[in-house]
Every structure is written in structure tokens, then in C-alpha cells.
């Protein structure tokens, strides 16, 4: 310190701390000359003393003017040192960097000016302090004082020039510093960071692409900035990197894929579009590197397929098709279970298009990796079953396609049908709205006979008789009217069990002929007039041959009220039958309990009705024991009657209790309401026809 005081005149030191800039500047020029002389004589000890004096007495002084003078003095000393400055930078630069955080904006401004002058002198030797300088510039770029910001921008441009020229710059040491600051929200800092990324990426010897995963997320974060300029700068930088990726033989797709997947779900539209565009390119370029990330990528793509922005939807669909076209091997890390899990999760997506694509994926996986899918089937089966209640018909049809593929195995087939009956039982609206659609589609996919046999087996043991009745009615209507079940109808038509039908009708004499029953009869009569039953109507041209058919139809007629529309329809039809008289001998029975006796037709050329042989035993050639079936039918009808009786008793008991508690006189005189047959008919029709 004493040496420095003897070297620098007291007047110079006073002027260096003066409040006037011109005096400080002149004093700095004096110091520059002194240091230049000392450097020329090689007296570095005294130079060190001068720098220590400027640092301790000036730059760290509590007085702002002293600090300003110290900064300009250090810059002047550096200029005086010229080529010798590098060996004194450890003394010169730290106090200048410290001044960047000074409370006085003018001190911060002079710190920028001082460091600018120092950098111009030392150039590449300056790089050893790069991280500290970068950190300081990052803060100054958002300084509250416009003059400080301007000075920092000038310094920043100079530092960029020095770095691009230097072969001492370490990108490995710089990246952690950059990564720490990439999520800063200040717009000035963001501009500063993007500027540095762009500059460094332009240097051929600096491999910024190799470190892209470290700051990629930060760049994507800037795409949603409120400043249009920042969004443009970030987009420009990302576009340049994407082009480099396309041209690079070696890229770390995996780490970046994780970032892109997250950004594809951004609430910002521009960010989503950019992310899904990158994912699209990665799927095309990434190859085997992306195998472990397929599930995550799919999880990002599927929601974007339903994006409100058309550009995003288009790119997402293209990417989805690209991804599905890739045939990966589970032995090489392709996780079928993870893909299935993503698809299952997207089945609950609010958008139909996404649910549809999720189902396409499940179908694709079943076709390619059936064993692997079935091994984790428990994880998705319940969700697939619940998807049968989806509000979209297209989704339901695709769900059924998937179920049909799974149900090629008997246990899954049984499980599917059992669950389906269960769903219909607990959700009657599903049966009303989708019952016909579901049953018809399953019959197409899994063979109608197989489906109906399984359903009948399940319904035989159904404890809820009301539901069983509804299901049977629905299944009958589908069977009789759906084009998909034409083959099954043709199979059943081979029996032509009209005698059995007549016996069933005779057994209905014990039924309670209520409105519900009449509605069903009305529907049957109307069905008989449809094209499906044209063959049956033509058989009426030969009453001698099909006498049991004729008797069955007359039996139906006798059950109908004469004033009903159904009675008139059937009566009109029967009037068109050629004249034929019944003989008592034609309907001989071997016993009162057996309606399957041999039939004798007088005056006819046919010996038996409907082709029914062995009718004394109730068995026809295809092996159906109609006598047993009739007994089974009568037993079931008895169960229904008992069930109805118990319901009536329960209602009567409840009504009696209520009427005893309170009953108005006018209610005692009111007659029971009249059922609206046409309204009920429409209701029941809507129930069974979706």
C-alpha cells in the first residue's frame, strides 16, 4: 500500500475519487501512464501494489465516487499493462465483477464500462472468468436501469465475439450454468439466454446439439412467453436444432423424448404444435433408440389427436400411424404392457377420436403380440368391458371388435358374455339404447349360434325373473329382425316346430292376460306380417300340410281381444287361407299330457305335419326333445306366476297400510286407471329396438 501511495501522486488519487467524471477520467489516464512505465521496466510487484490500492481503497469503498474511480482506474491499469495484463487478471477482474451487484446504478454502469475495456485488452485470456461474467451479464440484462442494460448489451456483444474466436472456451463447464437459468421467467433474461444459445450453436467447434437435452425444456418453456419476440427467437432456435438433428448421425433421442412428451400436453397451443412436430420427426428418425419410450410417446400423441387445433390433429394422426407401423420386438425392450396401459387410460378420454385410436392400438397389439396381451389381460379387461357403455356407437363397435378378438379363447368368451348380461341387468338404459347393437355385432364377430347358446345358458340360471323376461324378449326381437342373424334363423327354420308352438300357445291359458302380455302378442302379430316371415305366410297356402301352423295362428287369434288392431290384422290374414276343415281325428293325442301324437290328415297326400317325425315321443330328427322343452317352459311360467303373485301381495300389503293411515273420500270412489295400450306398446318397442 505504501509503495502504491509513493508511486501515485496524492492529487491523482484525489481526482480519482472526485464527483466529476472528467476529473476521474484524467486521473485514470495518469494511472495508465504510471502502470505502462512499470510494465516496461518489468516491475510487477509495484503494479500489484497499485492494483491492490485501487481495489481496497476505491472499488470496495463505502463511497460511491470512490467505487466509480476504482473501476475506471482498474480499466486504465489494464490498458497500461497491454500484453502483460493476463498475469494480473486474478486481481483486476474479481472486484469489477463484484461491482455488478452494487446498489448504485452508476457504479454498475461503470463496472460494465470497465470490464468492456478490460476485455478489449485481454481478449481470449478473459475466458477463464467466463462463467462468472456470464452470470453477471445474465443479471444485468434485467437491470432496472436502462443505461445499465445498454452498457451490459455492449459488453455482452464483445464477450460473444471473444468466445466465438477463442479455443479455450469450455462448453462442458458452461452448460450447467445455462441449464440453471433456462427456467427464468424474466423476458430480458430469456432474450439474453436465447441469444447465447444461438451464438454458441453457430460456432463449428462447439457441439451444442450434444447438450441440447440440458436446455431443450427451457426453450420450449419460452414458446409460451407473453412476448412475441421471445417466442419467435425460441422457435427459430428450436427450428435450427431440429434441422441439425435431421442431419446428424448421432442424437440422444431418448432424453429429449421425455421432454417432448411433457410439452405435448402444454396448455399453450404453439408449444403443443412444436412438441408434436418434434415427436413426429423423432418417430421417423429415432428407430431403436425410441423403443423404451414408445408408451410415453403414445401417451402424448393420443390426446393430441382430438386437439382443438387442426394443425396439431393432423400431425398427431400422422405420428400415430408412423408409430403403429413400426414393428418392435418385446425381446428388445418393447413393453407391450406399458403400451396397453396407455391405451387403457385413454379409453376414458373425453374425446371420441382419442378413444377410437386407443382401441385401434389395443386391436393392433392383439393381432401382433397376442400372447403378451393375454398375459396382462386382467389389467385392461374391466376397462374394456365398461367401454361397452360408451356414448359413441363407433367406440362400442370397436370395443366389440377387441372383445371378439380376445374371446377367441373360451374362458374370455364366457367372461365377456357373463359381464354383458350383468351390465344389462344393472343398467337397463344400456340394454335399451345399445342392446341390439351389441348383440348383433357380437353375433357377426363370434358366430350367432355360439352367442345365443351362451346367453341362453346364462339366462336359464337368472334369478331376476323380470330381467330374464326382458332379455329373452330383446333377444327374440333381435333374432327375428336382424339381418346379421339370418343364418341362425335359417337354422331354426329347419325345425318348423309348429306343433310345439301350438302346444305352447295352449299352455298360455293359465296366464294372466294383462296389458304387458297383449303388447307382446301385438308385436308378434306385426312381425308375422314382415318380409322375414313371408315363407310362413306362403305355407298357409297348404293348410292340409301345415295344419299345426294354422292351429297355432288361430290359437293366437283366440288370445287377442277382438277390438284390438292385432286381432284384425291376424284375422284378415287367416281369411286369405284356402278353405280347409279340421277333423277331430287329425289331432288325436296319446295322452292328455302329450301333445306330440302322430297326426292323421284325411284326404291329404301328406302323412305328417311340418315334417315332424316321431312326434309321439316329442323328438324330431335334429335331436330336440320338445316334450322336455315344453315342460321346462311350463315350469318357468309357473315361476313367473309365483313371482308376480308375491309382488302383488307385497304391493297390496303396502297399499293397505298406507290407506289405513290416510285416505281421502274422493279417492275411495275413483276407479282404477285405464292402461293406455298404444303408449305401452311404444314404450316396450323403444325398450327393445335400439
553/460 same-domain check: no
Instruction: Please report where in the chains the cell 329396438 appears, as a residue.
Output: 689
How does DSSP classify residue 577? S
82/141 same-domain check: yes
Q: Domain boundary residue among 495, 512, 542?
A: 495
151/3 same-domain check: yes
- Do residues 374 and 413 make contact, with C-beta atoms less than 8 angstroms apart? no
126/89 same-domain check: yes
For residue 384, being part of any structural domain is answered with: yes
What pLDDT is attached to residue 434?
86
- Do residues 549 and 610 make contact, with C-beta atoms less than 8 angstroms apart? yes
Q: Which of these, 24, 32, 84, lies nearest to 59 by C-alpha position?
A: 24
Number of domains present in the structure of the chain: 4
137/28 same-domain check: yes
Domain containing 539 equals: 496-578
Tell how far CA 485 is from the center of its chain: 35
What pLDDT is attached to residue 515?
86
Cell of 24: 476521474
For residue 279, being part of any structural domain is answered with: no
How many whole angstroms separate alpha carbon 195 and alpha carbon 157? 10
Q: Is 304 helix (H, G, I), strand (E, B) or coil?
A: helix
For 498-551, the pLDDT digits (tens) are 998 898 898 887 767 788 888 889 999 999 999 989 999 999 999 989 999 999
What pLDDT is attached to residue 662?
44
Q: Domain boundary residue among 477, 495, 513?
A: 495
Tell me if the pTM is above 0.85.
Answer: no
- Do residues 278 and 260 make contact, with C-beta atoms less than 8 angstroms apart? yes
For residue 460, being part of any structural domain is answered with: yes
What pLDDT is attached to residue 186?
92
How many whole angstroms separate alpha carbon 406 and alpha carbon 414? 11
28/139 same-domain check: yes
Q: Which of these, 225, 299, 314, lies nearest to 260 by C-alpha position?
A: 299
For the chain, what is the largest distance between any 2 Cα atoms, rounded to a whole number of angstroms? Answer: 153
For residue 612, being part of any structural domain is answered with: no
The angle, 0 to 180 degrees and rounded to 10, between the axes of the packed helices 187-201 and 228-247 is 30
Strand partners, 534: none
143/72 same-domain check: yes
How many whole angstroms separate alpha carbon 517 and alpha carbon 521? 6
For residue 236, being part of any structural domain is answered with: no
Q: Domain boundary residue among 115, 139, 170?
A: 170
457/563 same-domain check: no
Exposure on the CB side of residue 27, measured as CA atoms within 13 A = 26
For 436-478, the pLDDT digits (tens) are 999 999 999 999 999 999 999 999 888 888 899 899 989 998 9
- The rounded average pLDDT for each run of 10 residues, N- to C-terminus, in the chain (690 residues) is 71 90 92 90 89 92 93 93 89 94 94 94 90 93 93 95 90 93 92 95 92 95 94 96 92 91 95 96 87 93 96 97 89 89 94 96 93 88 87 93 89 88 89 90 92 92 89 91 90 86 85 82 92 92 92 93 94 90 53 37 39 46 72 79 77 60 42 35 30
477/505 same-domain check: no
For residue 103, being part of any structural domain is answered with: yes
Exposure on the CB side of residue 295, measured as CA atoms within 13 A = 16
What is the helix (H) or strand (E) element at residue 171, kind and residue range?
Answer: helix 171-181
How does DSSP classify residue 671? P
3/136 same-domain check: yes
For residue 472, being part of any structural domain is answered with: yes
What pLDDT is attached to residue 465?
87
CATH of the domain at 153: 1.25.10.10
Question: CB atoms < 10 A from the CB of 172, how many?
Answer: 9
DSSP string computed for 33-75: HHHHHHHHTT-HHHHHHHHHHIIIIIIT-SSHHHHHHHHHHHH
How many whole angstroms separate alpha carbon 627 and alpha carbon 634? 11
147/24 same-domain check: yes
24/111 same-domain check: yes
What pLDDT is attached to residue 514?
82
For residue 397, being part of any structural domain is answered with: yes
Cell of 2: 505504501
Amino acid at each position: 500500500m505504501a509503495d502504491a501511495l509513493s508511486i501515485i501522486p496524492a492529487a491523482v488519487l484525489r481526482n480519482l475519487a472526485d464527483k466529476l467524471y472528467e476529473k476521474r477520467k484524467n486521473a485514470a489516464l495518469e494511472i495508465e501512464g504510471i502502470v505502462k512505465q512499470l510494465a516496461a521496466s518489468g516491475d510487477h510487484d509495484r503494479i500489484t501494489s497499485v492494483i491492490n490500492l485501487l481495489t481496497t481503497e476505491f472499488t470496495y469503498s463505502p463511497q460511491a465516487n470512490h467505487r466509480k474511480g476504482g473501476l475506471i482506474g482498474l480499466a486504465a491499469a489494464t490498458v497500461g499493462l497491454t500484453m502483460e495484463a493476463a498475469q494480473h487478471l486474478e486481481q483486476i477482474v474479481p472486484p469489477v465483477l463484484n461491482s455488478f451487484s452494487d446498489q448504485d446504478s452508476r457504479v454498475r454502469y461503470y463496472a460494465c464500462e470497465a470490464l468492456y475495456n478490460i476485455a478489449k485488452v485481454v481478449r481470449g485470456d478473459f475466458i477463464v472468468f467466463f462463467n462468472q461474467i456470464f452470470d453477471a451479464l445474465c443479471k444485468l440484462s434485467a437491470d432496472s436501469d436502462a443505461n445499465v442494460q445498454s452498457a451490459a448489451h455492449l459488453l455482452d456483444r464483445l464477450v460473444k465475439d471473444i468466445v466465438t474466436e477463442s479455443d479455450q472456451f469450455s462448453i462442458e463447464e458452461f452448460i450447467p450454468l445455462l441449464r440453471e437459468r433456462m427456467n427464468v421467467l424474466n423476458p430480458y433474461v430469456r432474450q439474453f439466454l436465447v441469444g447465447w444459445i444461438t451464438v454458441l450453436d453457430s460456432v463449428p467447434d462447439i457441439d451444442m446439439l450434444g447438450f441440447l437435452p440440458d436446455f431443450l425444456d427451457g426453450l420450449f418453456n419460452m414458446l409460451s412467453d407473453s412476448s412475441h419476440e421471445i417466442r419467435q427467437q425460441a422457435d427459430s432456435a428450436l427450428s435450427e436444432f431440429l434441422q441439425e438433428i435431421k442431419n446428424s448421425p448421432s442424437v440422444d433421442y431418448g432424453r429429449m423424448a421425455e421432454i417432448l412428451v411433457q410439452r405435448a400436453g402444454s396448455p399453450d397451443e404453439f408449444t403443443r404444435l412444436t412438441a408434436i412436430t418434434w415427436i413426429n420427426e423423432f418417430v421417423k428418425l429415432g428407430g431403436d433408440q425410441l423403443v423404451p419410450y414408445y408408451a410415453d410417446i403414445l401417451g402424448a400423441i393420443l390426446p393430441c389427436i382430438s386437439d382443438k387445433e387442426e394443425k396439431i390433429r393432423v400431425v398427431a394422426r400422422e405420428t400415430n400411424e408412423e408409430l403403429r407401423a413400426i414393428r418392435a420386438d418385446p425381446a428388445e425392450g418393447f413393453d407391450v404392457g406399458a403400451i396397453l396401459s396407455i391405451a387403457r387410460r385413454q379409453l376414458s378420454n373425453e374425446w371420441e377420436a382419442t378413444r377410437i385410436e386407443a382401441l385401434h392400438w389395443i386391436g393392433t397389439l392383439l393381432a401382433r403380440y397376442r400372447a403378451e396381451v393375454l398375459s396382462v389381460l386382467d389389467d385392461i379387461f374391466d376397462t374394456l368391458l365398461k367401454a361397452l357403455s360408451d356414448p359413441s356407437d363407433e367406440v362400442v363397435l370397436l370395443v366389440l371388435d377387441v372383445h371378439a378378438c380376445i374371446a377367441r379363447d373360451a374362458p374370455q368368451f364366457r367372461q365377456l358374455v357373463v359381464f354383458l348380461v350383468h351390465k344389462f341387468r344393472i343398467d337397463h338404459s344400456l340394454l335399451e339404447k345399445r342392446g341390439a347393437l351389441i348383440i348383433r355385432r357380437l353375433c357377426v364377430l363370434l358366430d350367432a349360434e355360439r352367442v345365443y347358446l351362451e346367453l341362453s345358458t346364462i339366462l336359464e340360471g337368472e334369478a331376476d325373473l323380470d330381467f330374464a323376461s326382458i332379455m329373452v324378449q330383446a333377444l327374440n326381437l333381435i333374432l327375428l329382425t336382424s339381418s346379421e342373424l339370418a343364418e341362425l334363423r335359417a337354422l331354426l327354420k329347419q325345425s318348423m316346430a309348429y306343433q310345439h308352438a301350438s302346444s305352447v300357445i295352449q299352455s298360455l291359458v293359465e296366464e294372466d292376460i294383462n296389458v304387458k302380455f297383449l303388447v307382446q302378442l301385438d308385436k308378434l302379430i306385426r312381425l308375422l306380417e314382415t318380409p322375414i316371415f313371408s315363407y310362413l305366410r306362403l305355407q298357409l297356402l297348404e293348410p292340409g300340410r301345415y295344419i299345426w301352423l294354422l292351429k297355432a295362428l288361430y290359437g293366437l287369434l283366440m288370445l287377442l281381444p277382438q277390438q284390438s288392431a292385432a286381432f284384425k290384422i291376424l284375422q284378415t290374414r287367416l281369411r286369405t287361407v284356402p278353405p280347409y276343415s279340421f277333423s277331430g281325428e287329425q289331432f288325436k293325442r296319446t295322452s292328455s299330457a302329450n301333445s306330440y301324437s302322430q297326426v292323421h290328415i284325411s284326404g291329404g297326400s301328406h302323412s305328417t305335419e311340418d315334417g315332424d317325425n316321431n312326434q309321439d315321443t316329442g323328438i324330431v330328427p335334429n335331436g330336440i326333445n320338445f316334450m322336455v322343452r315344453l315342460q321346462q317352459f311350463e315350469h318357468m311360467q309357473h315361476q313367473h306366476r309365483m313371482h308376480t303373485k308375491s309382488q302383488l301381495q307385497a304391493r297390496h300389503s303396502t297399499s293397505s297400510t298406507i290407506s289405513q293411515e290416510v285416505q281421502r273420500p274422493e279417492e275411495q270412489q275413483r276407479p282404477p286407471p285405464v292402461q293406455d295400450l298404444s303408449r305401452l306398446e311404444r314404450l316396450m318397442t323403444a325398450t327393445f329396438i335400439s
